[in-house]
Structure 1
Amino acid sequence: MKIRVIDFETTGLPEDQVKGICEIGWTDLSDNWQITGHGSYLVNPGHPIPPVTRAVHHISDADVAGAVSPDVACAGLMNGMEPGDMFAAHNAKFERAFFGGGQHEWICTLQCAKHLFPDAPGHSNQVLRYWLNVDGDGLDPVAAMPPHRAGPDTLVTAFILRRLIFASSVAKLVELTSAPVVLQTITFGKHRGMRWADLPRDYLQWIAFKSELGVDEKHTARTILGAN
């Protein structure tokens, strides 16, 4: 089995009217979860790159002028993928908004890390990199730079994925990818920094039944309310 870790740099978010891929990175894990392939390539999104997203990855219109189209680039991600192989990404729903991955299953390292490492100070791939000390597992710190570029980010995510596999199993990670998380610490609003379990009951009820917050937040509130 092979797991292909992917990352996209884009010109916008999935909900934006104008968005497209401007860089693709990939890192393969196989052979007892060793890195067996790695690369990245620029993609011409077919429209100008807005300053707000260029400020994140620093990819310019000139950089992508002669690059392949998104359709060709995404088709390239399927090369070498065999039945039973999987895709993985940190916040996989973002990549999946641009690339379906055919019939292959997905692992979201962000969602799985929230399940398996609830005490981490954050769950971005860079925070997890240092909290888990994956550099000590053999991650080349030079190859992992700069952040917010597709190739280096897939290397960091691949090493986080290895830790997740060793802490659980591939089958369990697939299950956790679509399972809502019971969150530990609230990260927004006037109660930021408090434990979810200590929130006022009326606030939990608002989150659970009236708010437009995410699935994890609603699930956490409902879980705590049910336990009280």
Structure 2
Amino acid sequence: MPRIRVIDLETDDDAIVEIGYTDLVATGTDLLGDPTLWEVEEGLSFLVNPGRPISPDSSGVHNITDDDVAGAGSWTEAAELVFHDNLAPDIVAFAAHSVEHEQNMIDPVWTEGKPWVCTFKGAVRLWPEAPSHSNNALRYFRRPAGLDRRLAQPIHRAKPDSYITAFTLRDLLDEASLADLVKWTGEPALLPRCKIGDYRNGGKGTPWADVETSMLEWIIRKMSGDPSRENDVHTARHHLEQREIDQRLEYERIEHERQLRENGMAEPAGNPLVDHANQESLSL
């Protein structure tokens, strides 16, 4: 059965001290033969000895100490257990929340060219109304069915965090295809709110739909080429293009109604293009 392996890492700077995963398994297929009916399995985690002391700052986040990893295996040993187990042939993709972190830490040789899914990028696109798109905040915003709170604790440990992410991914797959999620992962994030200049709104930001067109054009013009602003530029360009499409459709609607009036035909209710086409087919 096809499975997506959701990965989470706990780190100390550039060293991995724990890796955990939770699998999402497809139990059915849709009419096109694509995997569907995804179910979350219980995960696993492995401590990793980084070969050097763990900094107090890092331990303060995940509570993993030198004593915890003293008898743990190396990264290579842990990676073999995660990426080369007997279920590895069924893996069709890997996933993580804010996937850049995992991609930067894990050599692509381990994932063998299989695609990644970023649940953060999927969530900001499909659920822009969420007050926060952090991994744990999405859990309480979505309240996914079937999530066991005991398995979701403690936070900032690899297995519980991957377990939470797996439920976010399951819900994303109810609204989008795996292909779409992979595509969005390869693009900058489509941000839900603008937090630039007068649109900061006390740090809460302003929905991009409420940002003036002149501001969208300014962001594209001034911030293009700045890697730290690629998400803002991508989002501004998306909304600007959408407005141009909406304007074009509105113009076409008005022009169609004008032509109907000139031909002495009544303006159809609803969508004039669709309804007029239906009228023509009935007259035949």
Question: What range describes the TM-score normalised by the shorter chain of this pair?
Answer: 0.7 to 0.9
Does structure 2 conserve the Cα–Cα contact (< 8 Å) formed by 1:44 and 1:66?
yes
Aligned to 2:10: 9
Give 1:16's aligned residue.
none
Note if 1:179 corresponds to 2:184. Answer: no
Residue 182 of structure 1 and its aligned partner are, at CA, apart by 3.3
> Max radius of gyration: which structure?
2
Shift in CA distance, 125/72, structure 1 to aligned 2, threshold 3 Å? same
- More relative contact order, 1 or 2 (CA 8 Å, 6+ apart): 1
**Does the CA-based 8 Å contact 2:124-2:133 persist in structure 1?**
yes
User: Which residue is 2:141 aligned to?
Assistant: 131
1:24 maps onto 2:19 in alignment: yes
Contact 1:112/1:164 (CA < 8 Å) preserved in 2? yes
Paired residue for 1:196? 208
For structure 1, which runs of at least 5 residues remain unmatched after alignment? 13-18
* Equivalent position amino acid for 2:17 in 1: C
Q: Name the CA shift for 1:204/1:224 in 2 (closer, same or farther; >3 Å).
A: same
Count of matched residue pairs: 220
Q: Which amino acid aligns with 2:6?
A: V
State the secondary structure of the residue aligned to 1:119: coil
Alignment partners' CA distance in 2, 1:177 and 1:60: 33
Of 39, 45, 70, which residue of structure 2 is paired with 1:40? 45
Match of 1:97 in 2: 104
In structure 2, what is the equivalent of residue 15 of structure 1?
none
The equivalent position to 1:214 in structure 2, one of 211, 229, 250, is: 229
Please say if residues 29 and 37 of structure 1, whose CA atoms lie closer than 8 Å, have aligned partners that are also in contact.
no
- Paired residue type of 2:171: R
State the percentage of identical aligned residues.
Answer: 42
Sort the Cα spacing of 1:77 and 1:191 in 2 relative to 1 into closer, same or farther, 3 A.
same
- Give SS of 1:167's match: coil
Q: Aligned match of 2:127 in 94, 117, 123?
A: 117
CA distance in 2, matches of 1:65, 1:24: 16
Shift of 1:219: 0.9
Relative to 1, partners in 2 of residues 1:175 and 1:198: Cα closer, same or farther, differing over 3 Å? same
Deviations 1:165-214 (A, max 9, x none): 11122222212221334323124666322233444667645543444333
Structure having the larger proportion of residues in helix: 2
The answer on 1:160 being equivalent to 2:185 is: no
- What amino acid maps onto 1:114 in structure 2? V
> Is contact 1:88-1:109 (8 Å) kept?
yes
- TM normalised by structure 1 equals 0.86
Q: CA 1:151/1:200 → structure 2, altered by over 3 Å: closer, same or farther?
A: same
Task: Give how far 1:90 is off.
Answer: 0.7
Runs of 4+ in 1 over 6 A off after TM superposition: none
Classify the secondary structure of the residue corresponding to 2:136.
helix
**TM-score of the superposition, structure 2-length normalised?**
0.70
